DNA sequence: TGACCGACCTGACAGTGTCAGGCTAGAGGA
DNA sequence: TCCTCTAGCCTGACACTGTCAGGTCGGTCA
């Protein structure tokens, strides 16, 4: 028996992926679908296996346990976030404060568009970064982008007090908090006239206000 | 059988609570212990029942399902947070900016001292506020305290731009983000010289910088 | 030809939340 | 005194989960 339909790849390209794709990749994509549909609670190894039409044990050939699959998903999220960062960084406008604002907006957009995956990236109770060096490295790289942006503001002499790495902590806290609260629906009931773009504008505008020298 | 040792209450007051206490209260306390010891993942209805020395079904007499128990725990958390807010509010110093800073510090202290319960208070995937009006009301009350504090700053003419409720969203985001990132261990690796009190000082100082008029 | 191995599979186990249906002590009315 | 009712538990089952143990099968390589 097994995966009996290799090399067939006939008419059904419409759904999911073609059958001969790496099972590992297919499992990751299916897991992402499940998270997007029903949140982290809807993600079980067996559910992933079912949707991928393999046995409930097949995923364990590629991932030692549940946490390893989640770690791979989490790392993928950080890499995509970093890619988003790079996209908005390579802007011809080189004002460091605007750059920080664009990074903040990109962060929030990523979090709001991929709420399930974003949540997973910070659920250390289910994925311990210490056990997954590649994940820890990706997360560190994302944070470093923020630190670099603040350092550039400092170098331009426009930072009001504080060390760049410490101010980065506060800035990261602000965007992470806004993203988390919005995802959890905690903000929608408080400021009803606020939509996603409004939230992004509100938060990013205060990011520079928080650290810029000589702000009115 | 059942709870066979009512009205005894002899020598064993040292551990947990006396045996004739409300089972409902005992379940909540045991649940809190489990969360404190092993996080939310360690909290199962059956584990609570085991530690409370009752059958696995006894909790369902008081809580319709798992979510109801978690909702009660979450609501208790918000009420304790509100109590902390009131404690630091009734200070003879009536500078509204200092008051906001004290609120922020109280928020962070609560989150850092009760990480499991705090996490639960914002896990809407496990506890939907819409299904638990008392919980939603407690959460709204806590947020309102922040809004009131910002409104007082506005009334004193010391707010730089923005509506109080919108600025409250940003401030809440900042403290919530800092608390969440610290709890998840995401900050410890980035700014190693930072301890809990350092984080509180760092964040609260930037809260006023974010909104105060005429800040240097 | 035979040993090996990667890529799956089936079958079991303990743990979980939850449904269904007990049991028992006490209260309230006849 | 007897009967009924109910609150406050209980036992037993179910489907679901992650995970351990041990197949099977096609290909590779000596």
Residues 6+ apart with CB under 8 A from A49: A27, A55, A56, A57, A58, A59
pLDDT value at residue A3:
33
Residue spans of the domains in chain A: they are 16-61, 67-211
pLDDT value at residue B207:
93
Minimum-distance CB partner of A174 among B167, B177, B215: B177
Residues 6+ apart with CB under 8 A from B189: A136, A140
pLDDT value at residue B21:
59
- Backbone phi, psi, residue A73, to 5°: -65, -40
H or E stretch covering B179: helix B164-183
Model confidence pLDDT, tens digit, residues A110-131: 999 999 999 999 998 899 999 9
* Closest residue (CA to C1') to nucleotide D8 in the complex: B61
Determine the distance between A19 (CA) and D23 (C1') in angstroms: 25
**CB of residue A51 closer than 7 A to nucleic acid strand D?**
no
* Closest residue (CA to C1') to nucleotide C23 in the complex: B1
Model confidence pLDDT, tens digit, residues B33-87: 999 998 888 899 999 999 999 999 999 999 999 999 999 999 999 999 999 999 9
Cβ within 7 Å of strand D: which of B 23-82? Answer: 23, 49, 54-58, 60-61
The CATH code of the domain at B66-211 is: 1.10.357.10
Q: Which of B74, B133, B174, B215 to mutate to test the interface with A (most CBs of A within 10 A)?
A: B174
Q: What is the mean pLDDT of chain B?
A: 87
Whole-number Å distance between alpha carbons of B96 and B213: 13
Contact of A31 with A43, CB cutoff 8 Å? yes
Q: Is A95 exposed, middle or buried (0-12, 13-18, 19+ CB in 10 A)?
A: middle
Q: Which fold has domain B18-61?
A: Arc Repressor Mutant, subunit A (1.10.10)
Model confidence pLDDT, tens digit, residues B173-187: 999 999 999 998 889
Give the Cβ contact number of residue A35 at 10 Å.
22
High-pLDDT (> 90) share of chain A, %:
72
Q: Tell me if A169 and B178 make a contact (CB, 8 A cut-off).
A: yes
Who has greater pLDDT, B90 or B75?
Answer: B75
CA of B126: which chain A residue's CA is closest?
A: A41
**CB of residue A67 closer than 7 A to nucleic acid strand D?**
yes
Average pLDDT estimate for B106-110: 98
What spatial distance separates the first Cα and last Cα of chain A, rounded to whole Å? 72
Cβ contacts (< 8 Å) between B174 and chain A: which residues?
170, 173-174, 177
- Pair of tokens at residue B207: 């809260």
Average pLDDT estimate for B122-147: 93
A13 secondary structure, DSSP code: G
**CB of residue B11 closer than 7 A to nucleic acid strand D?**
no
CA distances from B119 to A137, A161, A165, A184 (A): 25, 32, 26, 12
- Residues at the strand C interface (CB under 7 A)? A 1-3, 23, 49, 54-58, 60-61; B 43-47, 56-57, 60, 65-67
What CATH architecture does domain A16-61 belong to? Answer: Orthogonal Bundle (1.10)
Q: Which residues pair with B80 in a beta bridge?
A: none
Which CATH superfamily, name and number, covers A67-211? Tetracycline Repressor, domain 2 (1.10.357.10)
CATH topology identical between A16-61 and A67-211:
no
Model confidence pLDDT, tens digit, residues A25-49: 999 999 999 999 998 889 999 999 9
């Amino acid at each position: 028996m097994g995966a009996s339909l290799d090399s067939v790849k006939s008419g059904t390209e419409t759904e999911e992926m073609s059958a001969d794709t790496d099972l590992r990749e297919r499992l990751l994509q299916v897991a992402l679908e499940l998270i997007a549909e029903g949140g982290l609670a809807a993600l079980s190894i067996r559910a992933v296996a079912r949707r991928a039409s393999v046995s409930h044990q097949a995923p364990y050939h590629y991932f030692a346990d549940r946490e390893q699959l989640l770690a791979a998903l989490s790392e993928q999220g950080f890499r995509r976030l970093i890619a988003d960062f790079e996209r908005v960084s390579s802007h011809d406008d080189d004002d460091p404060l605007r750059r920080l604002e664009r990074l903040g907006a990109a962060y929030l957009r990523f979090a709001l568009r991929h709420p399930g995956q974003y949540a997973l990236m910070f659920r250390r109770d289910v994925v311990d970064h210490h056990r997954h060096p590649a994940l820890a490295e990706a997360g560190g790289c994302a944070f470093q982008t923020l630190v670099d942006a603040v350092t550039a503001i400092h170098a331009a002499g426009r930072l009001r007090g504080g060390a760049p790495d410490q101010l980065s902590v506060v800035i990261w806290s602000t965007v992470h908090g806004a993203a988390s609260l919005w995802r959890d629906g905690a903000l929608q009931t408080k400021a009803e006239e606020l939509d996603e773009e409004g939230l992004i504008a509100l938060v990013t505008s205060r990011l520079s206000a928080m650290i810029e020298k000589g702000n009115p």
